[in-house]
Chains A and B, each alone.
Chain A
Amino acid sequence: MAAIRLSHLTKKFGAFTAVDALDLLIPDKEFVALLGPSGCGKTTTMNMIAGIEQATEGQILFDDRDVRRLPPNQRDVGFVFQNYAIFTHMTVYDNLAFGLSVRKLARAEIDRRVREMAALMRLEDRLEWPSSKLSVNELQKVAIGRSAITEPAIFLLDEPLSNLDAAFRAFMRTELKHLQHQFQQTMVYVTHDQIEAMSLADRIAVMNLGELQQYGTPAEVYNRPRNTFVANFMGSPSMNLLPCRLIAEAGALCFGFGEAGRLDAGGDGAMQHRARAAAGAEVIFGVRPEDLEIAPPDGPGGLKGVVSFVEPVGPRTIVHLKLAEQTVKVAKEKRYKVSIGAAVRVTAPMAKCHLFDAASGEAIGLG
């Protein structure tokens, strides 16, 4: 069991900086996701924690122990590879036993623990199989079991679910989370899939271009994104980010969206406060698709729009609206009926809206 502290961690490949002065504290027994698009430095960070990659600068501490100079086989770290890296010339049993047998444990002890792990991973009837004959789903279970069996203080997973079919992925997501609660290990999980990160992690570190964008609980990252990158990356469909004009009229503030109309910031105190902080700046108005409301076209307030496209995606219906210059997505329940071309009005509860600086992309007035 160990907390991981990365301070000023940097990795350069020649002139390219893959990870740039990363500071991150991963508390003991927490499940932390490193999330970002490909090339954001998340895998490099994980490889440095494991010791497969040498840091150019900075420190890696496990609890208070500096491990930067420690070879990977002495770091006591479990690692599940994206492609599982199962030893194809061995049986499932030998794969599971590997970590214990290189530690020269007694045969009986190894046997007991392998069988225990096999039962936990539901692999009992596969133990004697050559691993080359396993399905992808089973390979994944062997990969996790093989690492977990040595009871490492830290468990690292590199996109372990990305090769699985959708149904098994949904199942493994639950199982993985449950396993973490059982193993009580510090887990670091690399993924580019925000759904996986949201559903699994205690905390999410959102990365882009080698830099940390935001670090917080899923709720924090989702509800209070620090910048437009995080706002756009989290959630599916992504947040509507609409450039707009701040208009002050008779003491009240509102957001102007050209021909489509205006949204009044008045009702909500916090938003008033934020809008004032932004006075004079170009701003981007952000609102999540599920927070928008669709209303008949002839009421007061809101923005005028026309339904341009309706996507039924199973449990939900995504309605695309064309405003004067912009398009917004609204998420509604399944079987929501609206016809393409219909004129509607869309309203946004200010308490659930966000404001970003158009130039820097930073959130405005976030505490």
Chain B
Amino acid sequence: MAKLEFIGVSKSYGRNVAVKDVDLVIADNEFFCIFGPPSCGKTTLLRLLLGLVQPDQGEIRINDQRVNALGPKERNLAMVFQNLALFPHMTAGQNLAFPLVERKIDKAEVARRVAAVAETLRIGKLLKKLPAHLSGGERQRVAIGRALVREPAAFLMDEPIAALDARLREEMRVELKRLQRELKHTLVYVTHDQEEAMSIADRMAILEGGMIRQVGTPDEIYNHPQSRYVAELIGSPPMNFIKGTFDPAARRFRADTFGFETTIGLSAPGVAGGVTSFAIRPEDIVIREAADQGSGVVAEVYEIEPLGAYAIVDVNIGETILKVMVPGQPSYQLRQPIRLDFPAGKCHLFDGATGALIAGAA
């Protein structure tokens, strides 16, 4: 039950700028992901929220109240760390009860709250076990439970499931999402895994070098990246980029290394032309027979990566390798010529120098 806000927040450590001019509103009841490469400032944002570090500039608000001067305890936020930090000498139950016992809450109330949390997290049977005897996923639940039992205003999680193996991660993220939905808590979640962020978040923020590059729903971020940086960072297999030049007067883009030209629908007039990158997601490229007439360019199959449910076809076109995602298990031959179509509504155009979006997908 908390709305969290950053207003013009900056924080440096010596000469290192960790966070710069961050304005961000995380709505009540929202599952919010902070995503970025290592050392982009995501952990610093969490620490600022928690009150572990003070901003050099700007304001941090919880429920419209300035909390800059409040210490971590007074902010009533719960944090789940990547390394969990469970007490190894206490049973799961004692770990859960710890924050309450520390606050001198009476025994009956502690028991009631621990039982309630154990019920929600489905860890009732584990309460008597020591952390060493729990599996990775179970330990994760206990750690979350320990944060939950305090009934905090909001949850902050720093890569809480990064240490688990792939299958378990998939399960845990569904679980986390279910929990957040049932408990109706604000949850701020830091991760460097783009698929995790996409699958779990209501909204997400993309960071680069301490600055926010884009905020939006996973759908907006994936389908309407506002910069080349965001477009490159999100999506696997990654987005394809084709270098070329753009003539704003004629609204024509022309590829540098092979014969490809297309008209770009501009939403806003008056953009500079010159060196640009034409971009399209692997699943949006359409493959047709090379003999087909009409639109598109002819390319050559370079490699095929069958992945079962779909395949990635790497195609070579004028020394540029493009990745095309095709559903099912297609049977192309190496070096086979094929025709590629770039559907107009699904292409993006980014400025070659700044990486800013010139024209986006429909």
Contact = CB atoms under 8 A, between A and B. Distances in A.
Indicate whether A and B are direct neighbours in the complex (CB within 8 Å): yes
Interface of A: 37-38, 165-167, 170, 173-174, 177-178, 181, 193, 195, 198-200, 218-219, 222-223, 234-238, 288-290, 308-309, 311-316, 318, 320, 331, 333-335
Contacts of B218: 312
B309 A178 contact: no
Contacts of B327: 290, 333
Contact of A237 (B170, B194, B222, B283): B170
B185 interface: no
B189 to A, nearest CB: 14
B282 interface: yes
Given A219-B329, A312-B219, A335-B223, A235 B236 contact: no
Contact of A174 (B173, B303, B308): B303
Contacts of B307: 195, 198-199
Contacts of A320: 174
A223 B308 CA distance: 8
B308 A218 contact: yes
Contacts of B178: 308-309
Contact of B325 (A178, A315, A335): A315
The 9 closest A-B pairs by CB, nearest first: A199-B305, A311-B199, A315-B283, A290-B309, A222-B308, A314-B235, A174-B314, A167-B238, A177-B303
Chain B interface size range: 35 or more
A317 B200 CA distance: 12
Interface in B284-320: 302-303, 305-310, 312, 314
A288 B282 contact: no
Contacts of B144: none
A166 to B, nearest CB: 6
12 contacts: A170-B323, A174-B302, A174-B323, A199-B307, A222-B308, A223-B308, A288-B308, A290-B327, A308-B178, A315-B282, A320-B174, A333-B327
A312 B199 contact: yes
Interface in B144-195: 165-167, 170, 173-174, 177-178, 194-195
Majority SS of interface residues in chain B? Answer: mixed
A315 B324 CA distance: 11
B53 interface: no
A195 B166 CA distance: 12
Contacts, number: 101
Given A167-B232, A334-B222, A313 B309 contact: no
Contacts of A236: 166, 170
A37 to B, nearest CB: 7
A53 to B, nearest CB: 24
B306 A218 contact: yes
Given A178-B302, A311-B199, A312-B222, A198 B174 contact: no
B355 to A, nearest CB: 15
A195 to B, nearest CB: 6
B305 A313 contact: no
A318 B309 contact: no
A314 B305 contact: no
B123 interface: no
Nearest to A38: B165
B135 to A, nearest CB: 14
Contacts of A167: 232, 238
B345 interface: no
Contact of A238 (B165, B167, B177, B314): B167
A67 B307 CA distance: 35
A178 B195 contact: no
B321 interface: yes
Nearest to A222: B308
A235 B222 contact: no
B29 to A, nearest CB: 15
B305 A173 contact: yes
B308 A314 contact: no
B235 A315 contact: yes
B157 to A, nearest CB: 18
Contact of A166 (B167, B236, B305, B308): B236
Interface in B71-96: none
Given A170-B323, A195-B307, A181 B334 contact: yes
B281 to A, nearest CB: 7
Contacts of B321: 174
Given A174-B303, A219-B329, A312 B198 contact: yes
B234 interface: yes
B361 to A, nearest CB: 11
A316 B198 CA distance: 11
Contacts of B219: 312, 335
